[in-house]
Chain A
Amino acid sequence: MKIDNTLPLEYQTEENSNRIFGFWLFLGAEIVLFSTLFAVYFTLWTRSGNGPTAQEIFQIKPVLLETFLLLTSSFTCGLAIHSMRLSLKKPALIFFAITLLLGLGFLGIEIYEFVTYVHEGATLQTSAFLSSLFVLLGTHGAHVTLGLLWGSGLMIQIKREGFTRDTANKSFIFSLYWHFLDVVWIFIFSFVYLKGLM
């Protein structure tokens, strides 16, 4: 196994540096996936059939709160990685915990939002617009959910092993994923909610 000690911990073995590169490629595929979902949404978003339109169901308050939570979580995730670079295990764990709690809060509001929609008679089955909305938001939400599970597992591993080449590599890849979800959300916020409310 080739090891290069001059690199940051997460890049030191060849295998680990390949993993990071591979994950970037995977994120490339994820960008295509979300772009397609956005394209579907933009194609269908005015086709609301007999159901409500975007303007009728979108509410700005919960969405602003969601945005705030997710953006902050991205920031704390960055702080966690910064602590990792400084080999500070405890602060890193605390920042990861805050990140995941904020993510959980985001998810809670999103579920609340979905429940509200359904109570207003806006379901997946109502119209093409709502189908595309639920699937776009749902795919992002599912990614966040998976991130929460992944992050929790990661925290257990860091607690047990500290920052080794393995855990550092995993933490770094997790942070890439988490920042990516944040970027996708910014697009959802601007082009789904703001555009829909205008």
Chain B
Amino acid sequence: MKWDEFFVTGEPMIYGAMASIVLVSLAILFCLTYFKKWGYLWREWLTTVDHKKIGIMYILSALIMLFRGGVDALMMRTQLAGPDMKFLDAQHYNEVFTTHGVIMILFMAMPFIIGLMNVVIPLQIGARDVAFPRLNAVSFWLFFAGAMLFNISFVIGGSPDAGWTAYFPLAGIELSPSVGNNFYSIALQIAGIGTLITGVNFIVTILKMRAPGMTLMRMPMFTWSVLITCVIIIFAFPVLTVALALMMFDRMFGSQFFTMADGGMDMLWANLFWVWGHPEVYIVVLPAFGIYSEIISTFSRKNLYGYKSMVVSMIAISLLSFLVWAHHFYTMGHGAMVNGFFSITTMAIAVPTGVKIFNWLFTLQKGRIEFTTPMLYSLAFIPIFTIGGVTGVMLAMASADYQYHNTMFLVAHFHYVLIPGTVFAVIAGMYYWFPKLFGFRLNERLGKLSFWIIAISFNVTFLPLFFLGLKGMTRRMYTYSESTGFGPLNLIATIGSAALAIGFAILVYNIYWSFRYQPRDTTSDPWDARTLEWATHSPVPEYNFAITPNVKSLDAFWFWKKNKQPLFEGKIEEIHMPNNNGQPFVLGVIFFFFGFFMIFSWWTPAIISGIAIVIMLAVRSFERDHGHHIPVKEINKTEQQLRGDKA
């Protein structure tokens, strides 16, 4: 391979990006050395197995990816602002919408959700950590390796350009000969393994490590949603693993799964992709439902309405999510009967979702509603998401879908589902749990300002797309002519997206501002909340709870506060904790290089790094690491300190 093929060339914007990547990396290296932070970074972060720190790293990566995906979005909107714009050429536009989709779903929404899961779940169930802390670190570093691998594609080798769905035969080696789609298959594979491990880890954590007395029906709703999500992960992600592996074989080893000759079947890819892809939507939406349930109940000062039907409806959604995949390609010509079946299953999902919406509305009833920033996002979610939901029912009707399919109507629909359904939820969750991690709240005034900008400009951006779709504008077209009449609505959408960017900028600025100026909380329960995570100190000590709580009801912490129902019984005993370890990080680095060599088909180094992975597994197998015990004296000291700080 020649060097000018290795690096992406000929695009001034890419040269700018390369230069800035090099400069930022150098600046980070310089700062780490100058402030002597290498040791700190290694000891406290790269080798950590603490679920809270891993959660923070997930969320930080998600924010960076939100920036990357957001820039992609802005580039697309700029190109579409008017007819015949020349900002991006077709190839560049195709790469941009592909990476936007992949990054937003897999490297932004997923890690943000998983980050919040990491931070909150062990605290919410009164546990000291997840079931397999070391494996949890492996999950994170595999995700991170996958994300970095995918992101370097835009300067090295070229990005994938066949859409985030990567339909064959377009994504095959014949029609996409560049390495772009190799990045897709390998980077997603590595990150996907990490996600699968997370799924196993959290099911075991939730089912086996709950505090005494916390029966399944006493679990907080967020914990329930994560449990169900992890079950979906276990059933859905292996399908992605297989699909990506077959893609890899087709592209790199000349197999004939999805090719245009020798028996290959392009429709098989679409089926495999969506058998994973549709449940994936629920993987990012169900935990969001859990987050909203916690926040709406907290700020209405009421328990969640219809707890049981909330659980039942989530289980129903998770089952139905595996029976609807073909609605993504009604137009593939499988006839009225098959389409009818999938239409009905798809519309059926509206029933449990509707139950949830009404339960939230009735949680508000007779409440004492406080409009804090997390609550504002949760409240904005209801009307906006309902638009996403009802348009989803419209799309589910096969005969009508023949007219919506592949149009901007569809694009508008899934943004109306995913942005209020997931993005608002993770932002709300970040505002809500931030004081638990850092001991102070994010600024409310800046928070509310950015909320209003985001909520309004979201609608300005995406509402016009419904009408563009009905006017016949298809998705993924990089330009349109003036005669189509698509211009004015597109311009409105572009203006909205710029405002959306400003809203997100204020959100990030708020984090910076609050770190510097926000007064520290004097209580560990600033929101007057209901669940166990608020029963321990903020910031949370390494061991979470000095004494394991004893749960006697749903919302145990609330009843402890109101009715003095005892929560922490028993004495402080020594606590067993896992040791930090550098192996997960090293494994992630090796996987990164393994993936990189695979992508470029450099077999010798790929085999060497493959052997290195096996050696890492063996090292782990032969190791005997039983963790360490924190003595009672030290726990007492920490507890006093944490209490003393607050006095």
Contacts and interface: CB of A to CB of B under 8 A. Distances in A.
B200 A127 contact: no
A111 interface: no
B133 to A, nearest CB: 10
B354 interface: no
B312 interface: no
Give the residue among B235, B263, B264, B618 with the most A Cβ atoms within 10 A.
B263
B257 A22 contact: no
Contacts of A48: 263
Interface string A63-102: 0000000000000000000000000000000000000000
Interface string B417-445: 00000000000000000000000000000
Interface string A1-26: 10000000000001001110110011
A37 interface: yes
Contacts of A59: none
B262 interface: yes
Interface residues of B, number: 45
B603 to A, nearest CB: 16
A194 to B, nearest CB: 22
Given A32-B234, A170-B621, A22 B246 contact: no
A30 B238 contact: yes
B253 A124 contact: yes
Interface in B426-483: none
B168 to A, nearest CB: 12
A33 B576 contact: no
Contact of A1 (B132, B199, B209, B626): B626
B22 interface: no
Contacts of B622: 153, 156-157
A116 interface: no
B249 A33 contact: no
Interface in B606-643: 614, 618, 621-622, 624, 626-627
Contacts of B265: 43-44, 47, 128
Contact of A135 (B209, B237, B239, B249): B249
Given A40-B257, A49-B262, A170-B621, A28 B245 contact: no
B272 interface: yes
Contacts of B238: 29-30, 32-33, 36
Contacts of B275: 36
A77 to B, nearest CB: 18
Nearest to A150: B621
A36 B239 contact: yes
Given A18-B204, A44-B268, A153 B254 contact: no
Given A29-B196, A29-B238, A124 B255 contact: yes
B368 interface: no
A153 B132 CA distance: 22
A131 B262 CA distance: 10
A43 B242 contact: no
Contact of B203 (A19, A25, A43, A157): A25
Given A25-B234, A149-B614, A153-B622, A135 B246 contact: yes
B361 interface: no
B200 A25 contact: yes
Interface string A165-198: 0100010000000000000000000000000000
A36 B257 contact: no
Contacts of A131: 246, 249-250, 255-257
B261 interface: yes
A162 interface: no
Contacts of A33: 238-239, 241-242
Contacts of B209: 18
A18 B135 CA distance: 13
Contacts of B618: 149, 153
Nearest to A149: B614
B267 to A, nearest CB: 9
B208 interface: yes
B257 A132 contact: yes
A163 interface: no
Interface string A112-145: 0000000000001111111110110000000000
Nearest to A152: B618
Contact of B262 (A40, A128, A153): A128
Q: Which 5 pairs of residues, A with B, have the shortest CB-CB distance?
A: A47-B263, A128-B263, A49-B262, A131-B255, A33-B238
24 contacts: A1-B576, A18-B204, A18-B208, A21-B208, A22-B131, A22-B132, A22-B204, A25-B199, A25-B204, A26-B200, A28-B235, A29-B199, A33-B238, A44-B263, A44-B268, A48-B263, A124-B253, A126-B256, A128-B262, A128-B263, A131-B256, A132-B257, A150-B621, A153-B622
Given A21-B204, A51-B262, A131-B256, 20 more contacts: A18-B208, A25-B199, A28-B234, A29-B199, A29-B238, A32-B234, A32-B235, A32-B238, A33-B239, A40-B268, A44-B268, A49-B256, A127-B256, A128-B262, A128-B264, A131-B249, A131-B250, A131-B257, A132-B257, A157-B621
Interface of A: 1, 14, 17-19, 21-22, 25-26, 28-30, 32-33, 36-37, 40, 43-44, 47-51, 124-132, 134-135, 149-150, 153-154, 156-157, 166, 170
Interface of B: 131-132, 196, 199-201, 203-204, 207-209, 234-235, 237-239, 241-243, 245-246, 249-250, 253-257, 259, 261-265, 268, 272, 275, 576, 614, 618, 621-622, 624, 626-627
